[in-house]
Amino acid sequence: MHELDTPTFRLAMAQFDQAAEAMELDPNLRERLKLPQRSLIVSVPVRMDDGRVEVYTGYRVQHDSSRGPTKGGIRYHPDVNLGEVAALAMWMTWKCALADLPYGGAKGGVAVDPKQLSRAELQRLTRRYAAEIFPLIGPEKDVPAPDVGTDAQVMAWIMDTYSQQVGYSVPGVVTGKPLSIGGSLGREEATGRGVVYVTIEALRHFKLDIRNSTVVIQGFGNVGAHTARIMQECGARVIAVSDVNGGIHNASGLNIPELLTRCKTHGQSLRDTKLGDWLSNDELLQLDCTVLVPAALSEQITERNAGKLRCRILAEGANGPTTLEADRILQDQGVFIIPDILANSGGVIVSYFEWVQDGQRFFWKAKDIQERLQDILINAFHRTLQFSLSNNTSMRMAALMSGIDKVAQAHLHRGLYP
């Protein structure tokens, strides 16, 4: 257990224990669901451009496969460790069950800063990592996807490496691929679009007009940028966004298309765009707004700053952005939290669509994908809300208990082998 003992894993475990206690989960099942089913640590030797060989550490963790193949992203980040990956795999299990997808949770990663690598080094790292985790992955076993520090190109290299090993093309081994090799329309924006769909439902629940709503987004990567764009298209006023260095704020509303052009197309930093007043990430979280979307890394909202938040709705675009202590403070303040396993599940839902399309060799229109995503998420939101209201519990506990219960039922029906 000690090798998993990191703050992120402790948070995932504490959430699980709280939910398991509330639902009086069978003690034997509790023990089975606490720890991952399978954890792999690999050495990833990479020949650098100058001829040196650098050895990185890679991970792949499968938390639970009782409901189907495991599913989860691969992240490249200097702080990746076994505990973090195990926690993210556990959250993926509950997330897939909550959305009613036939998957269990997995996660992978390499402890590396991808920005320090050339494109050639990144490709060699990815292919070697894919070769090392090859025995664990496959369309019927474990299906990786992009995460922090990885993208469609990284998925293409993994798909090619896997296909070379088996001798034929296997597009369904990963999701989040380029369209030319079996990717799905709508996959790149799926997580951000999902955050918007559930946020709109929460606004409707409180009878708040989206056109009079202000939105603050921490993180301007894939999730944050798409959330900002789609929120603005739906009529909300996005007043602040940030990246790792800090953010920009404009009370009248930021020009998101202009910001995207400058940052994503021309590579400018948020600060250099001068489209708003500069502020720190701490100051950004404390802005007065209708909706706050933490879409960066985990544990951003803690006991230290939770009391200073001034939002009505907190929609968790990132995984585990709020600690348990912060949860309690926000609940006392009357902040409505849309938990991560519900708010950011759009990515895995459209990944599921991509996997289905790859298996059928039949691809859907963008409009069909958006409608099916909306349908699944709105259903999941209202099921969770109903559970929360009828059991007098928080949205987070309602989401966790619903997800855990589905996995528990699968285990009870399948039994224990041998």
β-strand pairing of 214-218 with 237-243: parallel
Question: Whole-structure pTM over 0.75, yes or no?
Answer: yes
User: Distance (Å, rounded) from C-alpha 143 to C-alpha 74?
Assistant: 10
Low-confidence ranges of the chain (pLDDT < 50): none
Please answer whether residues 171 and 156 qualify as being in contact, where contact means their C-beta atoms are separated by less than 8 angstroms: no
What Rg do the C-alpha atoms of the chain give, in angstroms? 21
User: Distance (Å, rounded) from C-alpha 377 to C-alpha 214?
Assistant: 22
107 is catalytic: yes
Please answer whether residues 285 and 292 qualify as being in contact, where contact means their C-beta atoms are separated by less than 8 angstroms: yes
Catalytic one of 71, 95, 107, 177: 107
Per-residue pLDDT tens digits for 323-361: 999 999 999 999 999 999 999 999 999 999 999 999 999
Q: Secondary structure of 306-334 in the HEC alphabet?
A: HHHCEEEEEECCCCCCECHHHHHHHHHCC
Helix-, strand-, coil-residue percentages of the chain, each rounded to 5: 50, 20, 30
Amino acid letter, 412: L
Instruction: Please report the pLDDT score of residue 1 as a whole number.
Output: 55
User: Distance (Å, rounded) from C-alpha 181 to C-alpha 416?
Assistant: 39
Question: Residue 372 has which token pair?
Answer: 């099916």
Name the CA dihedral angle for 46, 118, 57, 40, rounded to a multiple of 10 degrees: -90
The sign of the torsion formed by the CA atoms of 107, 260, 278, 254 equals: negative
Q: Which domains does the chain have, with CATH numbers?
A: 2-13+38-173 (3.40.50.10860), 190-343 (3.40.50.720)
Instruction: Please report the pLDDT score of residue 236 as a whole number.
Output: 97
User: Distance (Å, rounded) from C-alpha 135 to C-alpha 147?
Assistant: 21
Closest CA to 287 of 259, 251, 321: 251
